[in-house]
Amino acid sequence: MIITKENIQDYIPQRPPFVMIDNLLEASGDYFKTDFRILPDNIFVENGKLREFAMIENIAQSSSVGLANAKKYSAKEKPEGYLGAVSKLKLYGLPVVNDRIHTAIKLIAQLDNMFLLKGETWVNDKKLMECEVKLVAV
């Protein structure tokens, strides 16, 4: 594990209850992998399942923590940025309470402080979601 749950907030601007990532498990220059356990008190759980927009947020936060760890941009104290767009979204299923999702992020392109990334979210061997996100770091 590269960054643990106890330190993850040093790498993302979100604060509880909006943190949708636990640990950065792997990171290279253009590939990042995170995990996140769906707890019953998560504000985005409805009828025992994590909502779609929380999964998109998980992909965005996974991208942000991976980019910060890889030092793809220079942040002041804590990284800040914006989710510019979500595209090519495909939803295959939703995780349920107590699932641990794994998110894989691939950096596709970078232009200065703008990033295009592809994210996929899995539970065990089942893909739940994939999409592309555009992030802008400030």
Note down pLDDT in tens along the chain; length 138 residues: 899 999 999 888 899 999 999 999 999 889 999 999 999 999 999 999 999 999 999 999 999 999 888 876 555 555 677 899 999 999 999 999 999 999 999 999 999 989 999 999 999 999 999 999 999 987
CATH superfamily label, 8-137: Hotdog Thioesterase (3.10.129.10)
Q: In the block, which residue shows the tokens 């555009």? A: 134
**Alpha-helical regions (H) of 28-119:** 52-69
Q: Which two tokens stand for residue 123?
A: 């539970």
Confidence (pTM): 0.94
Predicted pLDDT at 78? 59
Q: Which two tokens stand for residue 106?
A: 């691939």
**Residues 101, 123 contacting (CB under 8 angstroms):** yes
Backbone angles phi, psi at 28, to 5 degrees: -130, -170
